[in-house]
Structure 1
Amino acid sequence: MKKPFYMTQIALSKKVGWSEANGRWWIKYFSEFIPVKKDGRKKFFSDESFDVLSKIKFLSENGLTKNEILEIFKKSGIPKTEQETTDLITNNISFKYHDKEIANSLPAQKELLIPLLNVLRDKKPYTTTMINDGVIDQLGLSEEQLNITYSDGKEFIFANRMRSARYSLKKEDYIEEVSKYTYQITEEGLELLHDNSKEKEDEIEELEKVVDPFETIQEKVEEIESDLIKDLIDHLKQAHWRRLETIVVELLTSMGYGDGEVTKRTNDGGLDGIIKEDKLGLDNIYVQAKRWENTVGSPEVMGFSGALDAKGAKKGIFITTSNFSKAAEEYVERLVDVKKIVLIDGRKLAKLMIENNIGVSNKKKFVVKEVDFSYFEGE
């Protein structure tokens, strides 16, 4: 058997065709998918690491964003062949361009400002839903346009731009929030509607510069959480295997699934933990937790399924610090009528730990307050 060849991060970056700084950034972002051998504080990478990073570079150079590549890897695993890699580009780019074409047909934030004021020009209070509906009618937007989301799928583009438009108009006193999610035009807003085209253009240009600080905070919080997830995965991979078993049992117990315990190594049948859903242990969930660098395939999950059969169990949770292949996920789906196996990859494990305060602590807490309109009602 050929002895594996290991290289430094600088050598790996150079071999892929990146500068050391650029390579370090990509390696860190996809750390959960890139095999690494650690010797103290030093990291060494193999030909398999080069293969994964080369595919990432190829996908990036052919139109996929880093987030899209990451989502593909989490959902389907790393493509094994050149043809699979090419197919990913073909399938995702055609869908992406379709979405991009629709997204480009949506009015920009600055194009929503005057239509928004037109909805309010009768000086009556309107809820955000009424305002959105009024703008949609004015601009004749289709259902397909309204349903298009950003690439992460978290938010509708139109709704986001309308919220930004409302904020900038409110910030510059063209509209006011008279009650929660309800707005009314001001005298300044009415004057803007009666301005000539040049004056409107100049003011719209100024309104474009207004940034909602709450959105900035949200973006930074997401960035901090993304870094925390990567750090947690790294610590989980470095933890002693016995400590990892304790961590996952503690997590599942804190999530309310029942009393958990780590199995004894002498006769665990390949199972690392048991969660007793009832006091007498009549209904148990068996757990397997493995530190893994490579993608976990269907053979490993089949082995776990067999261990459940040996216990006569119908419920199991397979946890890994890496990720699962598409074949492994499809195998579990086929078992749904016979037994329930839940797969938890490194990223999901880290998120669950954050949500349940396992292995993390509050660094600093920020509270953002808003006006309580009901407090000022009544005589």
Structure 2
Amino acid sequence: MQTAGFGLVLVAAVLVRTRAEVVDDILGSLARGVSFLELQHAHINLDGAVGFVMLQAELKEAVRTWPHTDPVSWAQRTTANALLKRLDQNLDKAVTALRQNDPKYYREFEPLLTWRFWLTRQARRTSDPSLVYPSSMTSECYDEQLSDKCLTLLLGTWKTNGTPCIVTKPCRDTMTRFGCPHYSLSHQLLYFLIGSMRGCSDLLKGDTRATRTNMTQQNYQEIFCSNMMKANQLIISDGLTEHTADIFTENILICGLAGFWDFYKADWLQHILRMQDEEVGCFGRDMNVVSQIIGDELLEQLQPHRRVKRREKVLPGLYGCSSHMTAVAVGALGGYLNFHLSEQDITKRPLS
């Protein structure tokens, strides 16, 4: 009996150590991501800034509710807290640069640039394979301009002091259309998620379709994430590529925010961690662009009198990095961090 008990203790110790190692991996990756932000805050676009703001919300939640367990866990909390302070400082700089560089876009999406907007913790749920579409379209079924317009109508930023939670028929029809693939699908979910976080309770008001009579906002989120789960499973079975990595990670980020914690799979975490450039700290680095930047720099060195700002035509200052890919990756990793901390201590006792 004592031997069996000792064996259980050993198993428990291995599980705790493994979880601690995973948290270390996540914190290490996030530290490199924040270092990238420190260097490139002046060049991060709005998508990039929003991803880091999502991370900021996740880190604040993690530090606040870090489990009372052991010295290793407490040391990790200290690391996370220091990381959060660095992130706070550099996000302020990035947001200031955004306000100056693109004031119109900044004004329209300003509500998304505060961590409190994203702090709403959704109830835990899982995707449902029975909700997967029998077939999906092969091409995107949304227009980015319409998507942006629909979001500003929700946020109330469509004009100065605009009324929020406005849903036009084109927006409702587009955001509730079934069978959409890829980014159309993730933006449909994002629309409902942002609506929920903005406090919009009547997104479906005015929908007269008989087949949608009893549909709720929660129902749509379940349908969308169930199809995003299927999409990610297909991406993995086909082999993750640089072309599918971005939507794969975006699906994890947004469905995780919506409370679908079955997206936080251990092997999917490893895929995300491997996408990071160890040297620069970003995700989705295009080495073809890096080669072009290096070529431009050599040209400038050989012909100083021809110092034109060629790099701004590529990705200014970003070392060939994808601002969007980096954004969704750090946001998703923040979700993974809270998932693992919650699994470690399901009581989630807030720190006094």
Q: Does the pair score TM above 0.5?
A: no
TM-score scaled by length of structure 2: 0.27
Which is strand-richer, 1 or 2? Answer: 1
